[in-house]
């Protein structure tokens, strides 16, 4: 049995709440549990100075060590990047190491990111943009999408019936204000024509951001709880959304993202309208499993067509769910990662026996 060790990321904000980051929840915690179903032994730890000795022992007792993102300086703590030492220690005793990224962190921390890409036996990435980046320094790169729990994000999860049409967006709003602002001109136009509710989850009580959308005349806005919504509770909050929205600027940071907003709505049979940017271009087939919108008029036309055509809304939702189940469910992603790790371990055995 292959023993896997994941090092997840926990930033200062999340540590104060006693929680890991959302990406760690999906690309470490949940994928680890899914991998155990395929025959791996798997556990998750965190890179902090206080746990260095125990983490070093964990590295020594593992076959494959996966470093998800970078603990420092993403955490904002005045302590060294202990995973650098753990990476070097693992390589010194012939452990296979994997570097996993799901955002364009090289834009903020180029030297650390380059070090891990170059020194790892395998790099797993969440998007095509990240794959292109990682291949500059490592030929062993595997595209592993962030998986969706299709049982939790299920069409059976239904909210209360509403008279208004509910448009939904969820995420860390304060760091995505520029993306959210893409929607404002279209929402102003649509709110004059339709009875609309905009459900913006993730503002976390940021009044400046909330006032931006409250200023849209005729639009009912709901912000959800002021605290972060745990992953397992998110489907409950999305259940009454009719149309999922995912606006993205076409820049280097956005191109590296994994399109989780769209995928989670799609998994719940909800039609989506998204910007033709980044990973959206590899997931969405316009008019088949979702709609693209680039200009303000595009957003108005796409959302209007879904509001006025129940048949189109239903058909796009069905196709969207099938897309996720086939290629982006946690089960499918775990099987893909399991095969990749098996090849990595088999390669190690081949080299030792050669």
Return the CA Rg of the chain: 21
- What's the angle, vertex CA 25, arms to CA 23 and CA 28, rounded to 5? 85
* Sheet strands (E) in the chain: 3-8, 41-46, 64-68, 96-101, 122-125, 141-143, 165-170, 196-201, 220-222, 243-246, 272-274, 291-292
pLDDT at 74: 43
CATH superfamily ID and name for 165-327: Glycogen Phosphorylase B; (3.40.50.2000)
Q: Is 266 exposed, middle or buried (0-12, 13-18, 19+ CB in 10 A)?
A: buried
Dist. CA 245–CA 253, nearest whole Å: 18
* 3-state class (DSSP) for residue 7: strand
Q: For 73-112, how does the pLDDT look when each residue is reduced to its tens digit (9 = 90+)?
A: 444 444 557 889 999 999 999 999 999 999 998 998 899 8
Beta carbons of 251 and 268 less than 8 angstroms apart: no
- Burial per residue of 219-232, b for 16 or more beta-carbon CB atoms within 10 angstroms, e otherwise: bebebeeeebbebe
Nearest CA-CA partner of 147 in 337, 347, 341: 337
Q: For 205-224, how does the pLDDT look when each residue is reduced to its tens digit (9 = 90+)?
A: 899 999 999 999 999 999 99
Domains 3-145+329-353 and 165-327 share a fold: yes
pLDDT at 156: 86
In words, the CATH class of domain 3-145+329-353 is alpha beta
Q: For 107-128, how does the pLDDT look when each residue is reduced to its tens digit (9 = 90+)?
A: 988 998 999 999 999 999 999 9
Domain ranges of the chain: 3-145+329-353, 165-327
pLDDT at 79: 54
- Three-state DSSP string of 35-75: HHCCCCEEEEEECCHHHHHHHHHHHHCCCEEEEECCCCCCC
Q: For 147-156, how does the pLDDT look when each residue is reduced to its tens digit (9 = 90+)?
A: 999 999 999 8
């Amino acid at each position: 049995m292959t023993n896997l060790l994941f090092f997840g990321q926990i930033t200062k904000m999340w540590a104060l709440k006693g929680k890991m980051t959302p990406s760690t929840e999906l690309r470490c915690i949940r994928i680890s549990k899914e991998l155990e179903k395929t025959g791996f032994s798997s556990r998750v730890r965190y890179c902090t100075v206080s746990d260095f000795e125990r983490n070093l022992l964990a590295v020594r007792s593992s076959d494959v060590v996966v470093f998800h993102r970078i603990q420092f300086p993403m955490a904002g703590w005045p302590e060294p990047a202990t995973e650098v030492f753990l990476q070097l220690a693992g390589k010194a005793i012939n452990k296979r190491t994997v570097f996993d990224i799901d955002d364009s962190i090289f834009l903020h921390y180029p030297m650390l990111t380059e070090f891990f890409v170059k020194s790892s036996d395998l790099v797993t990435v969440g998007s095509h943009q990240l794959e292109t980046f990682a291949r500059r320094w490592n030929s062993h790169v595997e595209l592993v999408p962030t998986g969706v729990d299709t049982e939790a994000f299920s069409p059976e999860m239904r909210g209360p019936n509403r008279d208004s049409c509910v448009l939904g967006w969820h995420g860390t709003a304060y760091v995505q204000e520029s993306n959210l602002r893409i929607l404002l001109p279209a929402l102003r136009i649509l709110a004059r024509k339709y009875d609309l509710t905009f459900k913006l989850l993730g503002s976390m009580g940021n009044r400046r951001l909330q006032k931006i959308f409250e200023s849209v005349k005729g639009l009912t806005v709901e912000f959800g709880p002021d605290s972060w919504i745990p992953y397992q509770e998110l489907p409950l909050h999305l259940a009454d959304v009719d149309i999922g929205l995912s606006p993205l600027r076409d820049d280097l940071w956005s191109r590296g993202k994994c399109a989780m907003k769209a995928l989670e709505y799609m998994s719940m049979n909800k039609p989506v309208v998204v910007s033709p940017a980044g990973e959206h271009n590899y997931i969405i087939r316009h008019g088949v499993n979702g709609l693209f919108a680039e200009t303000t008029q595009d957003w108005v036309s796409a959302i209007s067509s879904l509001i006025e055509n129940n048949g189109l809304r239903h058909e796009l939702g069905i196709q969207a769910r099938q897309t996720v189940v086939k290629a982006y469910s946690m089960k499918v992603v775990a099987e893909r990662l399991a095969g990749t790790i098996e090849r990595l371990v088999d390669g190690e055995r081949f080299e030792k026996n050669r």
